[in-house]
Amino acid sequence: MKLKDQIGNNLILDAFPKRIVCLVPSLTELLYDLGLDNEVVGITKFCFEPEKWFKTKNRVGGTKTIDVDKIRDLKPDLIIANKEENDQAAVESLTKDFNVYTSDIKKVPDAIRAIADIGRVTNKDFKAKTINKQILSDFDKLIEIDNKAKVRVAYFVWNEPKMVAGGDTFINSMLELAGFINVFKHLNRYPNVTEEDLKKAEPVLLLLPTEPFPFKIKHFEQFKKYVPNAKPILVQGDMFSWYGSRMLKFSAYIKKLKSTIQ
């Protein structure tokens, strides 16, 4: 089988993989939902879902601190990585000796393709197509519901320094699906913003996620000092940043979230 990943590398597999290492938490969850319990032999220390895998599977370091030697010892026939989440040098080193599927996800269609690709390469094509069909159906319904007045938001990914999600991110893609306007859409990636930037942007809501920085209610006061007219709310970071089968839960989450902030 031949397959090109999302950064242009070619994978050539003589058979479907029987030993998979996943370096991406959201895609580890996808592999579980595809039914690849026996095939997955290694995950990162941040692959908390599913919990039973976190307790039983070999851990190969963090997403940015990959233990290349441990991965080599596991002798995988497929490694799943991500351009943004994983250390580039480590992944490139592994690519020389192993089939590595590297995803590069900035919009929902990128995530849909990654799910399809991973389903195809792991002999779970039908299950992957079923997941994608449900995701797209749910998203279509969500767009119909939220195609009304849109709320201006700032989505933070870090506290000190204060960093937000820009327009060329998967998070921005999910914000738009949810019916929000990202006030920092004109900026790229995850820029630092100042108090003055926040005031000029005039967000109505400040979305403070549980990850990667673990925002809590105690952080509300400092944000109110910057933009007193904006309302800070806690949101589940994985719902906006995990590309994979977690997207199946997004529509229900957004409906519930909006019912609490209206």
CA–CA distance, 220 with 228 (Å, rounded to integer): 10
Ramachandran bin of 158, using left for φ above 0, alpha for ψ from -120 to 50, beta for the remaining angles: beta
| pLDDT tens track for 178-219 | 999 999 999 999 999 998 999 999 999 999 999 999 999 999
Of 186, 175, 185, nearest in space to 139 by CA: 175
User: Which amino acid, 186?
Assistant: H
Sorted by sequence, the CB contacts under 8 Å of residue 66 that are 6+ apart come out as 23, 44, 60, 86, 87, 90, 91, 94
| pLDDT tens track for 133-158 | 999 999 988 876 655 568 999 999 99
Residue that the structure tokens 């590297």 belong to? 102
Taking 70 as the pLDDT cut, the residues of the chain under it are 144-149, 262
Going along the chain from its start, the domains and CATH numbers come out as: 2-138 (3.40.50.1980), 146-261 (3.40.50.1980)
Structure tokens at 207: 């979305």
CA–CA distance, 196 with 128 (Å, rounded to integer): 45
Q: What is the pTM of this model?
A: 0.92
Exposure string for 226-244, b = 16+ CB within 10 A, e = fewer: bbeebbbbebbbbbbbbbb
Provide the pLDDT for residue 79: 98
Is residue 161 classed exposed, middle or buried when 0-12, 13-18 and 19+ CB atoms within 10 A define those classes?
Answer: exposed
Provide the pLDDT for residue 162: 93
